[in-house]
Amino acid sequence: MLVLTRRKDEEILINGNISIKVLSVKGNRVRLGVEAPDDVQVNRAEIQKFLGQFEVEVENKTECVPVQSCGF
């Protein structure tokens, strides 16, 4: 894992086409802005984990479950 220190308005570039910018820091909360190509999916880790669990549940069911039932 690469660990970097950044201040407000500083950025990290990934692969030349993904930018992560520190927008603000308040106490222990950091707001990040992410710019990425449309074909790159960007999710918070807890959302990605939830979606992965939901996909497994849907695969195990025989009926169709609408995505709106997830609360998104």
Q: What integer pLDDT is reported at residue 62 of this predicted model?
A: 54
Q: What integer pLDDT is reported at residue 27 of this predicted model?
A: 94
Q: How far is CA 6 from CA 3, 19, 50, 52, 57, in A?
A: 10, 13, 29, 31, 39
- Give every residue of the chain whose pLDDT is below 70, as ranges: 54-72
Compute the Cα dihedral for 16, 20, 22, 28 and give only its sign: negative
Q: What integer pLDDT is reported at residue 9 of this predicted model?
A: 97
